[in-house]
Amino acid sequence: MIRVGNLDRSLAFYTEVLGMRLIRRHEYPEGRFTLAFVGYGDESEHAVIELTWNWDTAEYALGDGFGHIAISVDDAAAACDRIRTRGGKVVREAGPMKHGSTVLAFVEDPDGYRIELIERKGG
């Protein structure tokens, strides 16, 4: 789960830029928050990300313990191109990881959370 400052902006990033789909969304007016779950497939078979929007909080400091979300892709450079074309922010271009050969890249969501794109072996 990650807390977001603007749910519409975050949903647009995860669905339109990263190509996920909105799995489900629940409004909690009494608690003044909304939960939205996004992913690449049904949560019975795929991992999903829970986006929590507290209506009265527009911004959060990113936690020291949070590293990043990782997504497997066939071609990290092509994924960066698609994300950039869709308005996403690439913060590390595709290339081999430090001290290894795995190809990866990083993009950033509207709240500053990092998403690592890890190229599948033989991708």
Bridge partners of 118?
A: 72, 104
For residues 58 and 24, give the distance between their C-alpha atoms in angstroms, rounded to a whole number. 22
> Are 71 and 18 contacting, i.e. CB atoms less than 8 angstroms apart?
yes
For residues 76 and 72, give the distance between their C-alpha atoms in angstroms, rounded to a whole number. 9
Which candidate in 43, 108, 116, 119 is catalytic? 116
Is position 116 annotated as part of the catalytic site? yes
Q: Would you name the residues annotated as active-site residues?
A: 116
